[in-house]
Structure 1
Amino acid sequence: MEGFLLGFFITFGFLNSVLDAQQQYAGNQVLDCNNTDEGGPSPAFLYSCTGKSPSCRAFLIFRSQFPYNSVATISNLTSSDPLELARINDVSISELFPPQKEVIVPVNCSCAGWYYQANTTYVTSTVHETYFIIANQTFQGLSTCDILMRENVYGKLDLGYRGLKLQVPLRCACPSRNQVASGAKFILTYLVTWNDRIPEVSKRFSVSARSVVDANGFSEEDPVLYPFTTILIPIPAEPSSSQSRGKPRNRKSKKGLYIGAGTGVAAALLCFVLFLGFMRRKGNGVRVVSWKVEEEKKKLQLSRDLLLGITKVDRALKLHEFKDLEAATGNFAPQNRLSNSVYWGVLCGEVLAIKKMNTDASGELQILNRINHSNLISLYGACQNNGVFYLIYEFMENGSLKDWLHKECCQELQSCSRRIQIALDVANGLLYLHNFTQPAYIHKDINSSNILLNRDLRAKIANFSLAKSAEQGENQQSSARCALNRKGYVAPEYSEAGLVTPMMDVYAFGVVLLELITGKDAVSEQDGEESLLSDAVLSIAHGGNAVFGNLIDPRLQVKHPLGYTIDRSELAVSVIKLSIACLAQEPESRLNMAEVFRTLTRIQLEDAENFTVS
């Protein structure tokens, strides 16, 4: 009995210490690409999930270097929101940073297995890149070669090609219980450089040296720090641009530039006015000039809201003329049609998707203007012609999830792991919308037709025409119309009372999970009557003897080359049970997206372990 009690208290003490543990400084371990974490989480990979929350908003320090020396390029490299990055660094969205300027990067930090990570992607641009170079030079130590090798299918010697797309987890963390109790609201991942010392760094970020020492597991007040490594700084509020080092912007020279540009514009206008005065004396010439001016006005006569939205978007967004879209799509030829209102076309040498909008696109544009995430569709351009709006998006080679699930022959369809990754991508996009945008957004139209797949079968959420800020209300009339159009996905509280909360997206996501595992449509016809997939699953779940085997897509039970069947039913049932937790009748009884994402990550990890063993 005494031995049992002793073991219990030792185990309890160990678990309690893990929950409240601080992170450990990796030191020069991160420069070794042969570390292992077989015995447990290692700081040579990423920071451990020991915080109070499984996901949070966090911040990274990145030092500007060519070609990553602007808001656009740094936000693209780190998959962060460019508007938020510009705001927190107190710069315009078109800003170019001087070399080695410390840039504060806001990220979404979430647990994935043992480790916290902020996810981004990177495409190799030369044949000389290695995991070590990407981790320690491109990302400056914000990732590690060990975690890059873990997350990607390419071996150490397989990166000798341009255009390889890599998954890159970045080093971040969430505050522990002790840190929260001490007033910390965020964790900043700081890049150590030459001659950095804890006392100076902590003073610059207005925190105590002791809190930084404790956060990184140091045993002394002024430990040795190695360049190209990271330390964590618990901070009580968002970091500010005044706390980052580097050459300040030359506001004086910019002012001179603006004055010069203004003078040039004024001179051009003066010449134009004099020219018009001269043409008035030419009689008929007046009509010619006026007609040309009116034509130019028509070309640029977009709605005020649309123009305001476009001015805030990354500079890569372009205004196109309608004739360019006609040329790109073969005059909107039937063979270029992807769906009722979407065409593919080649613009500026790149295949893009062109969506014809039947309504004013300014609302969707304003939302897409505020968000930037690898699992949300990217907007590249816009056009307006005779009151009709066209939005130009990245092209998703594998179309919608709905169409993909009904392909006649597709080897990837037989991969349960592939379908879980698609679910995880969608969950990650919704987690970002619900928790890491300001204000938070509700998509309102999650369904398998609005989930698109790229060439690598990674999922992105599309169609934000119904999306709303979580702060906005919704009237009964519009909710009823949406419910009619999206039957099978609409949460009960929305169709019955028009209640709009993030939980309606969770409900719709639960239906998408069922489609992924069953391969069936959300709505089908049986004996002339409509049948909802969610109703069928919930009736089984509430029947007291929940047997879901008959629901699983038979294509997931694949044959091994040796002849035996690889049973994936246990994994599929785990996903079905997760979907049921998303489909609870009452919104408050459903999981939130952070819980959904965490559960899916655990399912994926278990799948990887079991598949490796088998």
Structure 2
Amino acid sequence: MTIILLLLLLSSFTPFQGAAQSAVFCDNVKAVASTLPNKTSSSPVHFATATVGQAPDVVYALALCRGDILDDSTCANCITNTFQFMSNATPADVQCFEGGSFYADCILVYNGKNILAAPLSTVGEYDDGVPPFERWNVKNVTGDVPLITGLIHQLLVETVEKAASSTPRRFATGVVDSNTNFPRVYSLAQCTPDLSSGDCLSCLNRLLGMINSTMALRMGGQMGVIRCYFRYDASQFYQGKPMISLGPASPAPVPAEQHKRRKSKLWVIPIVLVPLAGAAFVCAFLYFRRLTKQRKGNVLRLEGSRNQDSEGEEQLVWQGKNSEFSMFDFEQLLAATNNFSEENKLGQGGFGAVYKGKLPDGLYIAVKRLASHSGQGFTEFRNEVQLIAKLQHSNLVRLMGCCSQEDEKILVYEYLPNKSLDFFIFDEKRRASLDWSNIIAVIEGIAHGLLYLYKHSRLRVIHRDLKPSNVLLDNEMNPKISDFGLAKISTSNNNEVNTTRRVVGTYGYMAPEYASEGIFSIKSDVFSFGVIMLEILSGIRNSGSKQCGDFINLLGYAWQLWEEGRWVDIIDATLLPISHSVKMMRYINIALLCVQENAADRPTMADVISMLSSDIMILPEPMQPAYFNVRIGNEESSTTIESCSINDITISVTVGR
């Protein structure tokens, strides 16, 4: 059954606002309609683009048939019918409209704007801030809701990853059986085949990141932008066998007579396998023992077990299965950094210096050499190797490898030439190079990186030290969260964790419940994100030396201006005149929601992304933020004033119990 899902047709609530066009533009649309169906169906991957005409009447078009539609004629007919349907839907007194639509079997988009020119690395970001197409089943999941929604989430994540890695179609399907009364759930994800694996994954992950707590309860749903799309439903809506299957499969029934014969032979298995297993274990033990001696203890031991960290909290040890992670030789890094020369030094952190390096193949790297005298530096080193090697996302910095030889503990990252976010937002000259589109990209990129850590990665990670100096920028000013030395892995669904010994982090970005009681959760990182948002918009450090009105921190100052209706005074002068005033006000509103005093009042990162990506969602009114009462001249706050004036140093504070 073919279901027409209109995306872009004559509606202000769709991804494109269709605009009436001239007769020449309409003739160009007809020319595209006459050639694009056959061009698409004759492509091996059923994907094609077209450009017809000259400005100002040029038409840019894109068509893609769903990955399970293998028949050429079915693909061509779908696109032809889509053109016809959209032509018939145009009002009689209008020449024609820009537009597009999703069918059950194909996607078609044509527009007077060059929808084909955007860099593929920015897919999943939306023109003019318009949110993607989305449609959700009106019914909610029933039965064991946590189990079923968890399985659906796992299904979507694995389907997305499969689609991104599948060539040449960038297409995948899946199914999950919860073994309950709830029906099987089927999934599909697809990107345009011209995307790289990384760009496809980034695009789809951006969409998954917009699923908030309400959407996650629906029995079915779908979201899409021009170049990527996913859907799931409780009935199979695609052709062919699912490419991914989750959930335990029911074993085939065994005839009674055969079962009896099997049972009579089961006693043989232990007699045969136990000696073999014992011999294999002894051989493996002797081999690895000899290998360890050969290495003389110079290489970091990464075992497949769980260790206790210095706070007595369980830590997952990396098992070394990431093929892109390397063990570097110290001499190799010495040569790459020119003996760790001062001219190659990029910066100095609390646990050591970072140097620019160049490998023999010409690849630039960032080399973090931890101070040999820092015991905490080694803890950070171990934690980062164990953790970040397992994480892969376009908004997380990539750890390429490490070196552990005698007293040398070194981390090797991808090199990002634009340094860190604080290098731009707190410098008057460099900040002037950031326009509003850069600001949006940075804020949304950080949000998507955090959501990946909490929801879409294999490990649930709480960063605990999120700040502008730990957000790096690539060539295109895309943000990448870095420095996971203080991060924690949450091994349960418990939202709050109580640290038993040390509070670690950076004053000015530390949530109040963590600073005062040692309680941290994903809402602690949400607080830090809200602080960063305000700093990006204002160009003012939250706890710097610059006085903010009657307050010593940015949060109190921002709240005072918001209450007085003078929010525009928060915005840095480099962003003025304000041509995006409505969006700016929404961003300040969202930032204030993130820095609420009580963690329960802060939104989740999924909710934050939904609010950032929508211009029509009604936002809650924020309440008084944390640290609002920290004012100039308040003697009772003298301790806080002193500590807040230093926000570039990672600190540890002992919390009494």
- How many angstroms does 1:384 deviate by? 1.0
Query: How many Å separate the matches in 2 of 1:232 and 1:537?
Result: 55
**Does 2:432 align with 1:432?**
no
- How many angstroms does 1:363 deviate by? 1.9
Q: Which amino acid aligns with 1:594?
A: A
**Does 2:77 align with 1:78?**
no
**Does 2:595 align with 1:576?**
no
**Does 2:296 align with 1:297?**
yes
Deviation per CA, 1:369-426: give whole Å up to 9, x if none.
3321111111111101323311111111111100122345348734111111111000
Are the equivalent residues in 2 in contact too, given 1:420–1:604 (CA < 8 A)? Answer: no
- Tell me the matched-pair count: 421
Aligned counterpart, 2:417: 397
Aligned counterpart, 1:531: 552
Q: Which amino acid aligns with 1:423?
A: I
Shift in alpha-carbon separation, 1:175–1:585, aligned structure 2, 3 A? closer
Aligned counterpart, 1:507: 527
Aligned counterpart, 2:367: 354
- How many angstroms does 1:432 deviate by? 0.8
Aligned counterpart, 1:325: 333
Aligned counterpart, 1:462: 482
**Does 2:347 align with 1:339?**
yes
- How many angstroms does 1:496 deviate by? 1.4
Query: How many Å separate the matches in 1 of 2:410 and 2:168?
Result: 38
Greater shift, 341-350 or 493-502, is seen at 341-350
SS state at 2:404 partner: strand
**Does 2:194 align with 1:134?**
yes
Shift in alpha-carbon separation, 1:299–1:577, aligned structure 2, 3 A? same
**Map of 1:30-179 to 2, 5 A cutoff?**
31=47, 33=49, 34=61, 42-43=102-103, 44=107, 48-51=133-136, 56-59=153-156, 78=164, 134=194, 168-169=203-204
Unmatched 5+ residue regions in structure 1?
A: 1-14, 19-25, 63-73, 80-96, 107-115, 121-131, 144-165, 190-204, 217-224, 226-230, 244-258, 274-292, 558-564, 607-614
Are the equivalent residues in 2 in contact too, given 1:380–1:393 (CA < 8 A)? Answer: yes
**Does 2:376 align with 1:376?**
no
SS state at 1:496 partner: helix
Q: Which amino acid aligns with 1:537?
A: A
Deviation per CA, 1:522-580: give whole Å up to 9, x if none.
22125799922122212333xx42311111110112xxxxxxx5633333222111100
Query: How many Å separate the matches in 2 of 1:212 and 1:577?
Result: 41
Deviation per CA, 1:222-252: give whole Å up to 9, x if none.
xxx6xxxxx99899x8368999xxxxxxxxx
Greater shift, 515-524 or 498-507, is seen at 515-524
Are the equivalent residues in 2 in contact too, given 1:344–1:353 (CA < 8 A)? Answer: yes
Unmatched 5+ residue regions in structure 2?
A: 1-10, 15-36, 50-60, 63-85, 87-96, 110-131, 141-148, 176-186, 225-231, 252-275, 307-315, 371-376, 619-657
TM value normalised by structure 1: 0.56
- How many angstroms does 1:474 deviate by? 3.8
- How many angstroms does 1:452 deviate by? 0.5
Aligned counterpart, 1:109: none
Query: How many Å separate the matches in 1 of 2:188 and 2:418?
Result: 28
- How many angstroms does 1:313 deviate by? 3.6
Aligned counterpart, 1:546: 565
Query: How many Å separate the matches in 1 of 2:615 and 2:167?
Result: 44
Are the equivalent residues in 2 in contact too, given 1:421–1:604 (CA < 8 A)? Answer: no
Query: How many Å separate the matches in 1 of 2:581 and 2:295?
Result: 63
Shift in alpha-carbon separation, 1:399–1:104, aligned structure 2, 3 A? farther
Q: Which amino acid aligns with 2:477?
A: L
Q: Which structure exhibits the higher relative contact order, with contacts defined as CA atoms closer than 8 Å and separated by 6 or more residues? A: 1
- How many angstroms does 1:434 deviate by? 1.0
- How many angstroms does 1:48 deviate by? 3.7
Q: Which amino acid aligns with 2:365?
A: L
**Does 2:392 align with 1:364?**
no
SS state at 1:362 partner: helix
Aligned counterpart, 1:212: 236
Shift in alpha-carbon separation, 1:233–1:117, aligned structure 2, 3 A? closer
- How many angstroms does 1:599 deviate by? 1.4
SS state at 1:339 partner: strand
Aligned counterpart, 1:200: none
Aligned counterpart, 1:591: 603
Are the equivalent residues in 2 in contact too, given 1:523–1:530 (CA < 8 A)? Answer: no
- How many angstroms does 1:314 deviate by? 1.7
